[in-house]
Amino acid sequence: MRIGITISLLEEKESLWINGIKLNALFLCNVLNKTGHTVTIVDTGKHVKEINSTTVRWDLDKFPTEKWSTAHRNIDLLIMLGTSFDEESIINWKSGKLGRKAIKYHCGNNYVIDMERSIFPKKNPREMGSAAYQRECIDEVWFVPQQGLQNRSYYSVIYNLPKEKVIPVPFIWDPCFLDEEIEKYQEMLTLSKDISSHGVPIYRPGRDKQNLKFCVMEPNLNVVKFNMLPIMIVEQWKRDGNKMDSLNLMSSKALIKNSYWKSIVTKLDLTTPGNTDLRVYGRLPVVATLAKYADIIVSHQWQNPLNYAYLDILYLNFPLVHNAEMIKDAGYYYEDFDVHEGYEKLKEAIEQHDFNLEAYRDRSEAVMERYTVFNDGLVDTYTKLIKDLMVGVRTSGLSYDYDWKTNLYK
């Protein structure tokens, strides 16, 4: 069977690190390739006219990619991940061949996104466009498991599907592209020989505890990943009379122009007159961010307890102070919105990380493995999910009850 996974390229040689959508598609492709099916990434956009090794950044032998205009004839199972089609287009595509199925694969928190776009439109409401939800033509909705609480019933109603057709699927991550970026970064360091300016993207112990680079990597695009709580945690470090090199806020250039946000942070010890501890940057790839701006990462999320950035950080051995309960067995975990507990974990990371680096690495590896193809049950689970969908009856024995401790079903 041939499976197509949708994306939309905006330009030739587009970076993989602009957002997580292309990585989602490629990681899913990697797993589904191991199920015995033929899997193709399909570009539905109009910006890149031809797909070849000069127009995309990934290995086309490992991740076959075609334009939808040619690929659609041979696709049996369509997974709309990066882009969606309207109802008429899906129905017409299905009618071209008996037995075709369509899945909508959601990677984000659509309920929160829909709420924000409805209540706080950034443009004239008439220019906001329309949501890409379809009725009567989607066979199943798959969603990443960290988004279930707010979205599962919402999806069920909006797609007019029974709840059992709205399924949390195992989360997938792989360090392959991260490894490529690290290799490129190291080549750049070899040529420039300027480690002091560019840094090293793998954690190095022995840093001065009173001269650390604290880093916050929340994208600040919506309420689920916002930098204010991490700022408050680092503020506690400052109020305890400690020093630092800097607090580096990534993806925050829009916030520094926001008078309300500034009215909050300017009340902090971090921003007293003449103080240059707090610094603001745009969005950068994770390798460059960690190399140049991080000795320790402080994070916070709201109902989004799995994230590629967390796993990338753990993979590179950096101390991660976080409240993501689906990886509470890695990093330095605090609960919910508890700034004070977060500060205690920050102090623990600062004081103990170098001494416990091997144990930290072992715990991280055990957690990361459950999201990769090295998790023995991952490929088997996706094989059974596809079989159940195509047959139309759940004969695989899967419980469909997600277990975060294994990234499989109970």
Contact (Cβ atoms closer than 8 angstroms) between residue 381 and residue 398: yes
| 199 and 120 housed in the same domain | no
- Could you report the per-residue pLDDT of 64-88, keeping only the tens digit for each? 999 999 999 999 999 999 999 999 9
In terms of domains, do 30 and 127 share one? Answer: yes
* Same structural domain, 249 and 166: no
Domain tally for the chain?
2
* pLDDT, tens digit (0-9, with 9 covering 90-100), for 3-27: 999 999 999 999 888 888 999 999 9
Query: Which range, of 95-104, 142-151, 182-191, averages the lowest pLDDT?
Result: 182-191
- Do 256 and 285 lie in a common domain? yes
CA distances 263 to 219, 220, 231, 255, 257, Å, are 20, 17, 14, 11, 11
Task: Name the nearest CA neighbour of 277 among 319, 251, 252, 243.
Answer: 243
Q: Which residues pair with 166 in a beta bridge?
A: 141
In this structure, the answer to whether residues 109 and 194 fall within a common structural domain is no
Residue 120: pLDDT band by 50, 70, 90 thresholds?
confident
Contact between 288 and 189 (Cβ < 8 Å): no
Query: The domain spanning residue 45 has which CATH number?
Result: 3.40.50
Report the alpha-carbon distance of residue 17 to residue 57 in Å, rounded.
11
Check pLDDT > 80 for residue 307: yes
pLDDT in tens, 309-318: 999 999 999 9
Per the document, the length of the chain is 410
* Same domain membership, residue 324 and residue 248: yes
Domain boundaries, position 311: 176-369
* Domain match, 105 and 117 both: yes
Are residue 138 and residue 254 in the same domain, yes or no?
Answer: no
β-pair partners for 39: 3
Q: What is the predicted pLDDT for the residue at 193?
A: 65
140: left (phi over 0), alpha (psi -120 to 50) or beta: beta
Report the C-alpha gap between 102 and 3 in whole angstroms: 10
Q: What's at 400, amino acid-wise? A: Y
Sign of CA dihedral 8, 14, 19, 24: positive
Instruction: Annotate 365-382 with three-state secondary structure.
Output: HHHHHCCCCCCHHHHHHH
The kind and range of the H/E element at 201 are none
Residues 96 and 224 in one domain: no
Residues 182 and 328 in one domain: yes
3-state helix, strand, coil in the chain (%, to 5): 40, 15, 45
183 and 322 share a domain? yes
Taking the CB of residue 125, how many other CB atoms lie within 10 A of it?
9
CA dist list (Å): 32 to 36, 165, 202, 269, 323 = 7, 20, 30, 50, 31
Q: How confident is the model at residue 131 (pLDDT cuts 50, 70, 90)?
A: confident
**Are 171 and 371 within 8 A, CB to CB?**
yes
Residue 270 · residue 233 · CB < 8 Å: no
For residue 209, the 8-state DSSP code is T
Q: Domain check: are 376 and 365 in the same one?
A: no
Q: Enter the DSSP assignment of 240.
A: T
Q: 141-182: per-residue pLDDT in tens?
A: 999 999 999 999 999 999 999 999 999 999 999 999 999 999
Q: Which pLDDT value is given to residue 196?
A: 65
Q: What is the mean pLDDT of the chain?
A: 94
* CATH value at residue 264: 3.40.50.2000
pTM for the structure as a whole: 0.94
